[in-house]
């Protein structure tokens, strides 16, 4: 007589769903982005502020702590658009005056830099003739151009614009020429087959193919422009964040200098991000086409 033994499997209950599983995808994505990109710099900045506060609160400290900086510059922080006439204006007006000079000089540098970069990239003769001159001139420090520009323009405003122009143009020229020279030969052959004229080749082949290199030069150029204007304004005077920093130093307002440096860094970062964002849109469009 055979006996069969039946095995009864225990009933396993599914584990309860995690609370985060019920959250919408956009919340989980935002939380992941916060933990990855936002939280680490916040932690580092917080630690640096704590260390700075401890060191600056000691007797005889050379620099004021963050709490003292905020206390001393509170009026500048809450009233950035005040205007008492002359050079006595708020930080926002100082920044806007500097940004206006940067916009003029940088725009001229973009136009001239891309044009010369295309010329050097397309023509071997132009490369041999102009490249040595470019390599010599680009090593001249930006402020070394200021006396020459003041002698030529006899005014501080156009002189500052020229310093920005001559500072920003070199990376734009170099990167543009590299991008033009690196255009694949297949692209040039296609242009010959379909018989593109010069304007069509420039707009449909040359610029899209060289766009990543061009925007790399534009990012470097905008950063150098912002560095140059702050230094130049210390010497030419007038309204501008550079002169504000120099005037604060002459008046021993160290807290004002620290606040201005913080603003300079934030604006410089935003300028770089704006150019990078535009470059990403343009290069994405050219890649898709």
pLDDT at 10: 58
In 112-207, the DSSP E strands lie at none
Pick the CATH number of 83-288 from 1.10.10.10, 3.10.20.30, 3.30.70.1350, 1.10.3720.10: 1.10.3720.10
Mean pLDDT by 10 residues, the chain (289 residues): 54 55 73 80 90 89 90 91 86 94 96 94 88 90 91 90 95 93 83 80 82 94 93 87 93 93 94 93 65
pLDDT at 57: 87
Contact 20, 28 (CB under 8 A): yes
pLDDT at 288: 46
Contact 182, 214 (CB under 8 A): no
Alpha-carbon span 165 to 229, nearest angstrom: 10
C-alpha atoms less than 13 angstroms from C-alpha of 169 in its C-beta half-sphere: 23
- Domain positions in the chain are 83-288
Q: For 237-265, what is each residue's pLDDT tens digit?
A: 888 999 999 999 999 999 999 999 999 99
Contact 168, 225 (CB under 8 A): yes
pTM for the whole thing? 0.82
pLDDT at 3: 53
Residue 4, classed as helix, strand or coil, is coil
Helices (H) and strands (E) in the chain, counts: 13, 0
């Amino acid at each position: 007589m055979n006996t069969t033994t039946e095995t009864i499997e225990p009933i396993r209950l599914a584990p309860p769903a995690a609370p985060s599983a019920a959250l919408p995808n956009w919340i989980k994505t935002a939380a992941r982005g916060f933990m990855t990109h936002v939280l680490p710099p916040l932690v580092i900045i917080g630690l640096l502020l704590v260390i700075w506060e401890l060191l600056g609160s000691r007797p005889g400290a050379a620099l004021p702590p963050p709490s003292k900086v905020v206390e001393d510059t509170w009026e500048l922080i809450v009233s950035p658009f005040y205007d008492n006439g002359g050079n006595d204006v708020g930080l926002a007006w100082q920044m806007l005056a500097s940004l206006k000079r940067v916009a003029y000089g940088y725009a001229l540098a973009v136009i001239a830099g891309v044009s010369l970069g295309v010329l050097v990239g397309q023509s071997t003769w132009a490369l041999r003739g102009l490249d040595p001159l470019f390599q010599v001139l680009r090593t001249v420090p930006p402020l070394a151009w200021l006396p020459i520009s003041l002698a030529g323009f006899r005014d501080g405003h156009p002189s500052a614009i020229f310093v920005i122009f001559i500072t920003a143009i070199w990376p734009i020229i170099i990167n543009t020429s590299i991008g033009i020279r690196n255009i694949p030969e297949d692209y040039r052959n296609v242009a010959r087959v379909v018989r593109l004229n010069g304007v069509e080749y420039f707009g449909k082949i040359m610029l899209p193919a060289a766009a990543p290199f061009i925007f790399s030069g534009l990012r470097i150029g905008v950063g150098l422009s912002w560095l140059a204007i702050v230094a130049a304004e210390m010497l030419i005077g007038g309204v501008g964040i550079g002169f504000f920093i120099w005037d604060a130093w002459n008046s021993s307002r160290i807290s004002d200098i620290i606040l201005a440096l913080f603003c300079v860094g934030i604006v410089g970062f935003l300028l770089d991000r704006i150019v990078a964002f535009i470059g990403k849109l343009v290069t994405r469009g050219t890649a898709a086409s």
